[in-house]
Structure 1
Amino acid sequence: MKKNNIILKAENISKQYRLGTVGTGTLSHDLNRWWHKIRGKEDPYLKVGETNDRSIKGNSDYVWALQDINFEVEEGEVLGIIGKNGAGKSTLLKILSKVTAPTTGVIKSRGRIASLLEVGTGFNPELTGRENIYLNGAILGMTKKEITSKLDEIIEFSGCERYIDTPTKRYSSGMTVRLAFAVAAFLEPEILVVDEVLAVGDAEFQKKAIGKMQDISREGGRTVLFVSHNMAAVNALCEKSILLENGKIIKSGLTSEIVPYYLLSSQKEEMMTSEIIFEEDKDKDFQFLSMRMVDSENSLIKNSIISTEQAFFLQIRYLFNMEVLKCHLTIIIKNSLGEVVLFLDRTDFYKEFFVAEKGIYETIVRIQNPLLKPGEYFLTFGLANQYSNSNDHKFDILKFRIEDISSIRKTREGDLFIPTKWEMKKICYE
């Protein structure tokens, strides 16, 4: 790696907070901290504090939101930053964007940094969309002429042309994010920092935004730091990623290795079950009662492990407390990256909706194997009334693993394996 290609570098970044207060919270602590500082000694409160683990009750008033963060980003690189809620992702981005200062460590960067951290950040709600474009451009150090040259592109990309002269306080969160992203992307900063705010936008805008970030990194040679819980987006956009947990980097490297590691490590072991049962709720119009993964002999699949040579069945029970004339039954299978690899809807086969009277129903769906390649998979189930908003969805409720019993497939590409009959005959003889 050439050192002159490094555009952003984090060295020993740590951030400490005192819970419930601003600063140290007491005059004696402030004086003690000041006294150590003028004597050239280390802050005494850096030695105390606990890791920022929200799952356990702590004993200290001090917590480390980040601890000893070190990484480098090359010019034109797109770096993914992933982790659970509370891992320290947003705190890190605020430090990189110079919104807040680190407790220890230093950030070294070259060029302008544009940040998209929270919905409406940097926007004055009393100003119109057009005025906020000029305001943000001025904050980035651009001249009015430079901003005007990009104005039409920004407005067109945002899709807010009709409302561009309306105060942004009247914008929806989705419109605000659209405009804010367009401003940040088109005003050509050397480093673009994007937090989870893109999740507020609709699917069409998310696709446009990811495409734009790819363009500015590949063609414009600009650097992007991208935080998202959408692993498919991270996988598509970022070549490299870092994984944060409790304020520390626990793994970094190629995204193709980091994302599967994160998804598998974040899943609870109890999800590896072949059966799940739900309590009956009389107040619901309809609901799932149970899901089971069984083999051809109707026995529960042991440890939710299926071989590549084995078909399996999904046995699903529903309770209807009312008559439903048009009912959707859906099953979604996702891979370890969170990508949908198989979507099943009853209407695709029967060409009509399911009609249910009051009572309990059972559905058995056969999943043919060999079909999915070896790996970890998650099942989502959906039950919905076409005539109303009533629904019952169970997201990623069952987890199973497909294991290869031979070595034939281990080097194969693709997500699906469909056995097909091949007829071959010799048509030319010597």
Structure 2
Amino acid sequence: MVLAITAAGISKRYQIHHLNRPGYGSFRETLVEGARSLLKGGLSGYRTRLHSDEEFWALKSVTFDVEQGERLGIIGRNGAGKSTLLKLLSRITEPTEGRIEIRGRVSSLLEVGTGFHPELTGRENIFLNGTILGMASREIKRKFDEIVDFAEIEKFLDTPVKRYSSGMYVRLAFSVAAHLEPEILIVDEVLAVGDAQFQRKCLGKMQDVNRREGRTVIFVSHNMTAVTSLCTRCLLLEKGSVRANGDPGEVTSLYYQGGFSGKGPMLVLPPDAKEAGDEVARLRWARLVDSQGKPIDLVRRGEQVGVQMRYDVLEDGHCPVPNIHLFAQGQYVFVSVAPSDSATAKGSYLASMWIPKNFLNEGVYVAGIAASNMNPVRAHFYIPDGIIFSVVDDLNDPDRGDYVRAIPGVIRPKLDWSVMTVED
């Protein structure tokens, strides 16, 4: 195993300066307070009371390795420390604590505006970036046409980049970063600026330089579909620390479930749990399964998925009907109810509800697990957030075309269409 990056216990501290503004007292009160401070502690004492400092740790004790040729995704909510980590890996700033070892040339595409001189033309910036990477002029010239063709800005090549739109800037910046043969390519969320077709083109290029040329790719994005499609491993940052490090599907599932108190695709209740039910019916467990009935952590949109519940009917003469309530984005997606004569006799039961493939959209879903009498209506147990699971999409789905961003909606059924020519 050859390591491209080693990060050992890295932390980054920033000093935040606060100006302690006086309250909404009168002008006279402010003058009196200032005079008292001057008499007691002198001018420096008054200044101290007007200003205060606070330490902020953007990263704390982050440790991970990246193998040569890996495609590592880094995800997390805003403020989790992603951009700070990329700046450390790109050597834009240094860690307060810990060490970083990088083996190979690094090319970074961070926030728009980083790495280019605004007064220089696109042509001049290509050569400038190549020189910074340590490339000889002949190496840059050999790659020059590829860079320009990929960026699609040939007409504006001799225009200062300060006159570029954000989309033009990102196209050129990515093309330079990807084509100048760095051993390590670091790409931040800036690709969100580009159009959908160019985003797909960039993702394809990152896969290409990794698979054909063995380069290491570090990719930061809020687009979980792009992360799961591109990356071979994923790092989840939370409040400056590593919460998870592993399979992209499992880690993105944790990201989606971040606001749900650690619940996930499996629910097991102790026999005496109050929420497990009443004297008529009690829930043992509920889980998410694939089409073969095997428990899963993550749903792929193009695959059938089932929600199963194991429950006990404790008394004869009742009809506790299993039902599932599905929620997404704060909306009620649907409720599905089993046949009303599902379980009338005392005993243990396994109920399964199947959601067809290509029905759910990408995102996080909450399944409420319930069993109820329908006539009269009576809930024997209902756990509104019994199972939390996430659905990811396949960027190679032909229905997407060149679109790589999240598609809106709480469901996305694949419906039958017909389109034909008509004559007036």
State the TM-score bracket (shorter-chain normalisation).
0.5 to 0.7
- From the superposition, tell whether residues 275 and 176 of structure 1 become closer, same or farther in structure 2 (CA, over 3 Å): closer
Aligned counterpart in structure 2 of residue 96 of structure 1, from 83, 89, 93 = 89
Alpha-carbon distance in 1 for matches of 2:329, 2:156: 49
**Matched-pair contact (CA < 8 Å) for 1:295–1:311:** no
Q: How many residues align?
A: 276
For 1:334, the equivalent position in structure 2 comes to 361
SS at match of 1:334: coil
15, 29, 32: which one aligns with 2:12: 15
In the superposition, the TM-score normalised over structure 2's length comes to 0.58
The sequence identity of aligned pairs, in percent, is: 50
Answering whether residue 338 of structure 2 is matched by residue 293 of structure 1, we say no
Aligned to 2:65: 72
Per the alignment, residue 258 of structure 2 pairs with 265
Map 1:254-403; keep pairs closer than 5 Å: 254-266=247-259, 293-294=334-335, 309=353, 333-336=360-363, 376=389
SS in 2 for 1:257: helix
- 1:277 Cα deviation after fit: 13
Aligned partners of 1:180, 1:128: CA distance in 2, in Å? 12
Which residue of 2 is the match for residue 194 of structure 1? 187
Which structure has the bigger radius of gyration?
2
Q: What SS does the corresponding residue of 1:20 show, helix, strand or coil?
A: strand
- Cα deviation code 1:245-270 (max 9, x no counterpart): 0000011011121111211224699x
User: Residue 264 of structure 1 contacts residue 336 of structure 1 at CA under 8 Å; is this kept in 2?
Assistant: no
Q: Distance in 1 between matches of 2:67 and 2:116?
A: 30
Q: 1:63 Cα shift?
A: 1.3
What is the CA-CA distance between 1:125 and the residue it aligns to? 1.4
Counterpart CA distance in 2 for 1:66 and 1:396 is 35
- Inter-partner Cα distance in structure 2 for 1:292 and 1:7: 45
Residue type of the alignment partner of 2:334 = M
- Kindly indicate whether the alpha-carbon contact (under 8 Å) linking 2:257 and 2:388 is maintained by their aligned counterparts in 1: no
Q: Residue type of the partner of 2:17?
A: G
Distance 1:195 1:277 in 2: 26
SS across alignment from 1:61: strand
- Pairing 1:221-236 to 2, within 5 Å after superposition: 221-236=214-229
Contact (CA 8 Å) 2:236, 2:251: kept in 1 or not?
A: yes
Q: CA 1:90–1:310 in 2, change beyond 3 Å: closer, same or farther? A: closer
- Residue 239 of structure 2 aligns with which residue? 246
Q: Is the contact between residue 87 and residue 93 of structure 2 (CA under 8 Å) also seen in structure 1? A: yes
Flag structure 2 segments of 5+ consecutive residues without an equivalent: 19-51, 263-323, 339-350, 366-386, 392-406, 415-424
Provide TM-score, normalisation by structure 1. 0.57
> In 2, are the aligned partners of 1:76 and 1:221 still within 8 Å (CA)?
yes
- Aligned-pair CA distance for 1:240: 0.5
Per the alignment, do residues 221 and 128 of structure 1 end up closer, same or farther by CA in structure 2, a change over 3 Å counting? same
The code of the aligned residue for 1:227 comes to: V
Determine if contact 1:7/1:110 at 8 Å carries over to the other structure. Answer: yes
List structure 1 segments (4+ residues) > 3 angstroms apart after TM superposition. 266-269, 272-278, 290-297, 307-312, 335-338, 374-378, 394-398
Alignment root-mean-square deviation, CA: 3.8
Q: Cα distance, 1:18 vs. partner?
A: 1.2
Who is 2:80 aligned against?
87
Q: Can you give the 5+ residue segments of structure 1 that lack an aligned partner in the other structure?
A: 22-58, 279-289, 298-306, 313-330, 339-373, 379-393, 399-414, 417-430
**Distance in 2 separating the partners of 1:224 and 1:294:** 43
Residue 143 (structure 1) aligned with residue 153 (structure 2): no
The residue number in structure 1 matching 2:176 is: 183
Contact kept, 8 Å, 1:260 with 1:336, in 2: the verdict is no
- Structure 2 CA distance for partners of 1:227 and 1:273, relative to 1, 3 Å: same
Whole-Å separation in 2 of the counterparts to 1:218 and 1:150: 19
